[in-house]
Structure 1
Amino acid sequence: MPVIDFFFKAHEPGLILLAAAICLISSYACIGLLRHAQRSRDHMRAIWTGVAALAVGFGIWATHFVAVLAFRPGFTLDYDLGLTALSMLIAIVLCGAGIAVAVRGTNVWDRVLGGAVVGVAISSMHYAGIGALVMGGSLQWNPGLVATSILAGIVLGGLSFRFGMGQSLGGLFSGALTLTGAICAMHFTAMAAADFSLCFPLSADGSIDGFWLSLALAFISVLLLALALGSTVLDEADRRRTERERDRQLRDAERLSEVSGRLELALTNMAQGLGLFGADGTLQLYNQRFPELLGLDLEQDLTGISFPQTCRMTLLGANAELEDVDVQLAEVLESHQNLIRHGGEIVHKFSEDQVLRISHNPVGDGSWVTTIDDITERHHSERAIAHLARHDSLTGLPNRARYAEAFDWSLAKVKENGRKIAVIAIDLDHFKDVNDSHGHAAGDAVLKSIASRFNGLLRDGEVIARLGGDEFAALKEFTSMDGLREFLGRLDEALSRRIEDGELAVSIGGSIGVAVYPEDGNDLSKLLSNADLAMYRAKAEFDRHICYYERDMDEQARQRRDMARDLWSALEQDDFYLAYQVQKSVLTGETTGYEVLLRWNRPGHGNVPPSEFIPVAEECGAINAIGVWVLKRACLDAAAWPEPYKVAVNVSGLQLAQIDLIDTVRNTLFMTGLAPERLELEVTETAIIGDKHRALHILRQIKAMGVSIAIDDFGTGYSSLETLRAFPFDKIKLDRSFMSEVENNEQSKAIVRAILALGRSLSVPVLAEGVETLAQLDVLRVEGCTEAQGFLLGRPGAIDWNDLLEAGLSA
């Protein structure tokens, strides 16, 4: 009661509240930093111990002097600077010692002891601070209250560390409140124990008054507040880190449990066989799949058997003969011994129905893990893929890559034994007709039938491959030409036999070209090229199916290459020119138009007939560019004519296959200014039949512009009435071959009469080509032919309009 009475009557309430706030903040900061130091290690623990000591030491000191400022002894107090600083140092050092004891301790009594040392620091600081008061007279003490104050600081200090160093948030607040109680109880009890009645004010050198002390206390208060906030942040960070660590540990535990479960499940259900062999070579652990793949007894316990015993049991299970087991076992152990020491895998083919891959993985102490995979299906798939990579998918014959490998093998052999190799190119003669007439399914059936015949005729040293489309190639190792001729005879017989497949019944035939190593070339590329040249010679000669390569074929090929090069140069240098052949009415003799004829004066060779350079232009791809040039030049010339005659331009099959032909015609008419009705395009039925639907679509688009379309060379190609029905041609051109004998050959005259009658029935005019005599012209006039052209009416050449105009005026 004396203490309580003293507290309320002898102190300024506002400053008391400030002292309590400082005390509480410093206590909270101390406990928070104390917990953080406890969780730290090594030098960081020492750092955080010092920070906690500063927090509580400043707090005790600031609480003491704010409370002293609140005390009203009846006179003004001054303070000795040195003793005041010493009291602060005592608080910080002793608190640091107590905190160090608590954070380094291993049990709860170490924490209580550390808190008790802090209680001693509180008492020591207080009485040192009282000693720093500058005053006169005699200060009297109550021994009982002095003892009580010291005891209160020690007991409550010990309890504060006991409560505050737990892990819960409640422990933090309990420790802070208890430490606040220790500081306040000790201070106010000690102040009540002092009797200031016999004291009076006194000034001395080096003393400080209350104003400067207040400033120092304010600074310390802010510092304590910052330390308190810092301890809160650190405590929250520690709490989150602890939670994260706990969560991680839980996840690791769950993951470990899951992995353990999966491992057990994997060992039971894994597709691989797994066995663990010890350093002594005995089987220590295995799953059920291990004996199952090796063909061992699933009921037998294999634990403890050696690796050689395992191999022997496996060989016996694979139906090996007893007398062969030891030989095979020695080979197996030798192949596995190095793999067991260094690691690796080996594939064992026990039978067509079982192929195993066995892997050994050393553990490091002499033991190893063996895994077994059943790769039977994979082995079969790889063999199938390897076969497909070297064989044609449709016919099953070797493909180009396999053919090249066969040539290399044969080449290596014949270089040793002095034999020869025939490289043979084979091309089916009428395969395109089968595709066009019967469809691609029929074409595939023909190829498979031919391939089956080829497979049936092969003997040692003979290979036949499909290179693509209807192109085949064969190899034949031979010593005498009789052997080669016999093989070629078998090939020719297989090609010439009639093919019957369901409703399909066709005779194909083929052309065969032969080149011989080493006379005709030293590598496969050269030999195949030469065999192709020979094959094309056989295809061009109607009485031969088989042709051997001859050196003059190279000269012909070279000439065609040179001509192709010169054709491109002629396009660039504008070496082509046009000739025009007149077309006239048979009845009146009036000019109806002119046909454009392309001419080429080849440098160093003179004029080359179109029959020679047009096929080469089609082969080298120049025909489209040449066709565009002819169309443009002809339209420009016709647009400049004084008379509006038609101009007829031939279109090749390759041009007709290009959808761009529509835009080419449209743009040419626009740029030259020629009226569409004055342009006539001549196409052969052979050009149309290649892709009939596409060609007729293109011709309809061009006809819609107003351009006339004539079917050229009618009577020499398919002469299909279906083609005439499918497209409304503006003119039929009767081929010149029928006119040469029309005067005295009744059959030729009958054909001409039939075509002319067909034209009349379809209301399509007919123009006859190649009219060279008056008798021929008379026949045409009698039979009702509409137009004609030929040498009789005018030779091809440039048009002299002056002569034509004079002839017209004189007429």
Structure 2
Amino acid sequence: MSLVDFFFHGHDLRFVLLAAAVCLVSAYACITLMRHAKRATGRMQKVWIGISALAVGFGIWATHFVAMLSFRPGFALSYDIGLTALSLLMAIVLCGAGIGLAIWGGKSVDRLLGGAVIGVGISSMHYVGIAALVLGGNLEWNGGLVGVSILSGLVLSSFAVRAGLGTGRYRVPIAVGLLTVAICAMHFTAMGAADFSRCFPIVASGSQVDGTLMSLAVALISFLIVAAAVGGAVLDEADRRRTERERERERHDAARLDEMRSRLELALAHMEQGLALFGPDQRVLLHNQKWVQLLGFPADAVVEGEHIGDLCRAAIEHLGSHGVDLDRAAGEMCAHHLATVQAGGGTTTHSFGHDAALRIQHSPTGDGSWVTTIEDISESKRNEAAIAHLAQHDALTGLANRARFNQLFDAALAAAENGDDNLAVIQIDLDRFKEVNDSYGHAAGDEVLRRMAERLTAGLREGEVVARLGGDEFAALKPFTSMDSLRDFLKRIEAAVFGQVTYQGVMVNTGGSIGVAIYPDDGADRSKLLNNADLAMYRAKAEFDTRICYYEREMDEHARQRRAMAHDLWVALEKDAFDLVYQVQKSVSTGEVTGYEVLLRWDRPGHGLVSPTDFIPLAEETGSIGPIGAWVLKTACLEAASWPEPYKIAVNVSGLQLAQLELVDLVRMVLFQSGLEPERLELEVTETAIIADKKRALYVLRQIKAMGVSIAIDDFGTGYSSLDTLRSFPFDKIKLDRSFMVEVETNEQSKAIIRAILALGRSLSVPVLAEGVETHAQLDVLRDEGCNEAQGFLLGRPGNIDWADLLDPPLSA
């Protein structure tokens, strides 16, 4: 109560309020400048600590002397200049020490201690300032109040500094309030502890200053304090804005980092490749889930921090590389990858069990770390293997194709040359396979080929090879040292070729021709051996009762002769070395000439006349039949057009010619160039030529018949389906094959067949011409049976036409 009474009755309240205002402003300047100093670094931090010390030191000093102006002891006060200056210096120095301790210490206890040092500065400044009063008498003190004043300054200053350097929304107002209360509480409590009743003024000397001058000094200092406060406010606002900008930037950066992190995690999660980051210590720092999956680890496996060597071992173990030394394989793999990283990175491929394959790429980052990506290339490896297999194997049967067979053949030849084994080359060609396709469809033919491949490969032994070279052609290789071994292999092949295949309820009998050539007796290279095995296979095909035929040197001579004949056929075409002869055709009843059949003759240089039955099949095989047939047609039409009598000519057409649509244009062109009437031309075709491609053949024949050219079916009665052929096309003539005339005189069956064919011709209104008539008895039979026409040696041999013969009396005479 004595303090309250002293405060209200011993002071001018106006100056008290002014002192409080000065104290508040100085406290604000101190706190804001102190916070700015805390954010500064280096030398500038010391500068701002000094400025903060000046602001609070001057503030405490000004507050003290403004408050002293409000004090009314009953006499005027004067001050000692030295002690007054000392009080100001002590306030600045001690407050600066406290602020430095609070900022540089950093801890909460350091801030409390720093605030306590400021409290010491406040107390020291006050009591030194009281000592600066020039008084007479005896100034007495209340020790308890002195202690309270000092303690209040220490405690309140400690909490003020702690709050000012702490965090929180209201930290600055709280700190300013606490520091203001600390200064005011200390001053007025200390003033209440002093008893000025026994004091009196003394005359001022030169070392003293009166109250008026002190008021001017205080006013000036107060102005400086206000300026410092304003500067502190500006700095605090700038700091606040900067802090806000920094926080906004931090929030923006944090949001951006979160977004980038989310995108990174999304990208890593959806990458087709596995990705991992290894540190300089060769351990995993970061990875995506795909990386764990590709290495075969469980989904919940934790691999961060794992060494690359441990990962190599686990990958080999998880991906199923069995039958290897795990430690050794893992060590080699780890060393390989580390060497790749140290060499600047690169790509490597590892294959594991169960067809797993991984492509691994390392990319060093420059600080000892590296990024590893893993890609699963198992599917592409399987595709490459499949493509490689397709390139060397037949797609239908799975057997080696021609390219693969040649590789295996060359390898087997090399082995045979370096060893004691012989090598057998076997060519296999299926019989009547085209009939299977024509009769049952290509699906049935494919099934026959697949089943044939299965039977041929069943039980193959080491070194034995079976391949499909194309179509219905197969080939095999057999290394052997004894003929018994070869015969056993051929027996297995024969059993596979000759058998039955059931397809959709249809039973198809299979068979074939097998040719064998043996290294080194039958050839020393692949081409020669294949050619000789092919010759042996064709010999087997030509001989009815032979399934397997071994190559013989006579076959090579025969093949050479055929090649020479084929060459001479082309030469004869170029040199126009063929000749045409004509065999007369006459009416059986009257003996009159009805026409001539055109026959081809070839006088081969150095060999004499060659039978058409020898060179025509060869011409069909070698492809020269087309040009030869065109030459025959053109030459015959030109010659017939020059005859004095308009007799009809019959020209044979090959099956290969009939399969070509160009035959229609050829006939039209020849008729136009020769000027021969279409009614005088007759084309003879065999049933076999029509059956080969019936639809196309009949189309061609209809186009030719529409020109007015006659169409005769030759060799009737020897084909597959004579009646069906006659039903399919309206032929103009039926030519009875010469084979039926051989025994017609003595064999009733032959006579019955002729009688049936003649009856068929009459019922279809198609004339019948009999070939091969060589005796009068045969002619009489034909006449009795009502045959229309005949030709043969009896009626005239093939040759050039002698027009004088036309004047002879007819046979009937």
TM-score relative to the length of structure 1: 0.66
* Alignment partner of 1:744 is 2:746: yes
Task: Give the corresponding residue for 1:134.
Answer: none
Give the secondary-structure state (helix, strand or coil) at the position aligned to 1:699. Answer: helix
Change (3 A) 1:777 1:808: closer
> Which deviates more from structure 2 when the two are superposed, residues 780-789 or residues 271-280?
271-280
User: What residue ranges of structure 1 are gaps of 5+ in the alignment?
Assistant: 1-255
| Amino acid paired to 1:400 | R
Contact conserved, 2:769 with 2:789, CA < 8 A, in 1? yes
**Paired residues, number:** 557
What residue number does 1:308 align with?
309
Q: How does 1:327-366 map to 2 (within 5 A)?
A: 327-342=328-343, 343-352=345-354, 354-366=356-368
1:507 is paired with a residue of what secondary structure? strand
> 2:519 pairs with 495, 517, 520, which one?
517
**Distance of 1:566 and 1:323 partners within structure 2:** 68
| Alpha carbons 2:283, 2:307 under 8 Å: kept | yes
Q: Residue by residue, what CA displacement relative to the aligned partner does 1:685-740 show, whole Å, maximum 9, x if unpaired?
A: 11111111000000000000000000001111214311110100001111111111
CA distance in 2, matches of 1:675, 1:566: 34
Deviations 1:555-609 (A, max 9, x none): 2112111111111111111100100000001111111000000001111111111
Q: Give the alignment of 1:234-245 within 5 angstroms.
A: none
Preserved CA contact (<8 Å) 2:320 2:353: no
The share of aligned pairs that are identical, in percent, is 66
Indicate whether 1:436 and 2:438 are aligned. Answer: yes
Alignment-derived partner of residue 326 in structure 1: 327
Q: What is the deviation of 1:511?
A: 0.3
**CA shift for structure 1 position 401:** 1.5
Q: How far apart, CA to CA, are the structure 2 residues paired with 1:654 and 1:452?
A: 35
Distance 1:731 1:449 in 2: 45
* Amino acid corresponding to residue 317 of structure 1 in structure 2: H
498, 504, 508: which one pairs with 2:510? 508
Matches within 5 A, 1:196-595: 265-318=266-319, 324-342=325-343, 343-352=345-354, 354-595=356-597
Q: Name the stretch that deviates more: 598-607 or 408-417.
A: 408-417
In the alignment, which of 639, 642, 659 is matched to residue 640 of structure 1?
A: 642
Residue 288 of structure 2 aligns to which amino acid in structure 1? N
Deviation at 1:296, TM superposition (A): 2.4
The corresponding residue for 2:765 is 763
C-alpha RMSD over aligned residues = 2.4
Aligned residue runs from structure 1 range 107-118, under 5 A: none
1:285 Cα offset (Å)? 2.4
Deviation at 1:267, TM superposition (A): 2.1
Taking the aligned partners of 1:388 and 1:520, their CA distance within structure 2 comes to: 32
Q: CA deviation at 1:260?
A: 9.3
Aligned in 2, Cα 1:566/1:261: closer, same or farther, shift over 3 Å?
Answer: farther
Could you tell me which residue of structure 1 aligns to residue 790 of structure 2?
Answer: 788
Contact 1:442/1:504, CA 8 A, preserved across alignment: no
Cα distance, 1:359 vs. partner? 2.1
Note if contact 2:350-2:358 (Cα within 8 Å) is conserved in structure 1: yes
The letter for the 1-side match of 2:382 is: H
Aligned to 1:664: 666
SS state at 1:498 partner? strand
Counting only pairs closer than 5 Å after superposition, residues 727-738 of structure 1 correspond to structure 2 as: 727-738=729-740
Q: Following TM superposition, by how much is the alpha carbon of 1:756 offset from its aligned partner in structure 2, in angstroms?
A: 1.2
- The code of the aligned residue for 2:565 comes to M
CA–CA distance in structure 2, aligned partners of residues 636 and 642 of structure 1: 13
What CA distance in whole angstroms lies between the structure 2 residues aligned with 1:364 and 1:612?
85
Residues 17-41 of structure 1: per-residue CA shift (max 9 Å, x gap): xxxxxxxxxxxxxxxxxxxxxxxxx
Distance 1:327 1:457 in 2: 39
Deviations 1:485-522 (A, max 9, x none): 11111111222222222322122211000111122222
Aligned pair in 2 of structure 1 residues 659, 425: CA closer, same or farther (>3 Å)?
same
1:352-410 CA-partner distances (Å, limit 9, x unpaired)? 15322222233444432211111222222222222222211111111112212222332
- CA–CA distance in structure 1, aligned partners of residues 633 and 498 of structure 2: 44
Question: 2:458 is paired with a residue of what secondary structure?
Answer: helix
Q: Give the secondary structure class of the aligned counterpart of 2:476.
A: strand
- Retained in 1: the 8 A contact 2:586–2:594? yes
Q: Secondary structure at the match of 2:427?
A: strand
Distance 2:407 2:535 in 1: 23
In structure 1, C-alpha distance between the alignment counterparts of 2:598 and 2:258, rounded to whole Å: 92
Q: Which moved more, 1:457-466 or 1:760-769?
A: 457-466
SS at match of 1:394: coil
The normalised TM-score by structure 2 is 0.66
Distance, in Å, in 2 between the alignment partners of 1:574 and 1:257 is: 94
2:142: which partner in 1? none
Quick one: structure 1 residues 310 and 603, their matched pair in 2 at CA, closer, same or farther if it must change by over 3 Å?
A: same
CA gap of 1:397–1:669, structure 2 versus 1, over 3 A, is same
Give the stretch that moved more between structures: 657-666 or 383-392.
Answer: 383-392
- Contact 1:499 1:506 (8 Å CA) reproduced: yes
Identify the range of structure 1 (288-297 vs 460-469) with the bigger mean alpha-carbon deviation: 288-297
For residue 641 of structure 1, give the secondary structure of its aligned residue in structure 2: coil
In the TM superposition, residue 671 of structure 1 has moved relative to its aligned partner by 0.8
Q: 1:483 to 1:588 in 2, by over 3 A?
A: same
- Using the TM superposition, give the Cα deviation of residue 628 of structure 1 relative to its aligned residue in structure 2, in angstroms: 0.7
Whole-angstrom distance in 1 between the partners of 2:696 and 2:322: 70
1:297: how far off?
Answer: 4.2
Letter in 1 for 2:482: S
AA paired with 2:604?
A: R
SS in structure 2 of the partner of residue 528 of structure 1:
helix
Give the SS at the match of 2:510: coil
Given that 2:515 and 2:536 are in contact with CA atoms closer than 8 Å, whether structure 1 keeps it comes out as: yes
Q: Distance in 2 between matches of 1:537 and 1:700?
A: 39
What is the SS of the residue equivalent to 1:351? coil
The answer to which of 293-302 and 717-726 deviates more is 293-302
Deviation at 1:633, TM superposition (A): 0.7
Q: Distance in 1 between matches of 2:434 and 2:666?
A: 29
Secondary structure at the aligned position of 2:352 is classed as strand
- In structure 2, the residue matched to 1:108 is none
CA distance in 1, matches of 2:784, 2:320: 96
1:767 is paired with a residue whose SS is: strand
**1:278-312 Cα distance to aligned partner (Å, 9 max, x none):** 33322222222111211224444433322112222
- Cα deviation, 1:629-681, whole Å, max 9, x if unaligned, reads 10011111111111111100000001001101001001111111111011000
Contact 1:277 1:369 in 2 (8 A): yes
Read off the aligned partner of 1:339 and give its amino acid letter.
T
> CA 1:414–1:763 in 2, change beyond 3 Å: closer, same or farther?
same
In structure 1, give the amino acid aligned to 2:609. Answer: N
Residues 316 and 322, structure 1, Cα contact 8 Å, conserved in 2: no
Letter in 1 for 2:747: N
Whether the 8 Å CA contact 1:767–1:787 is kept in 2: the answer is yes
Q: Secondary structure at the match of 1:599?
A: strand
Cα distance in structure 2, aligned partners of 1:544 and 1:768:
35
For residue 696 of structure 1, what is the amino acid of its counterpart?
L
Give the match's secondary structure for 2:714. strand
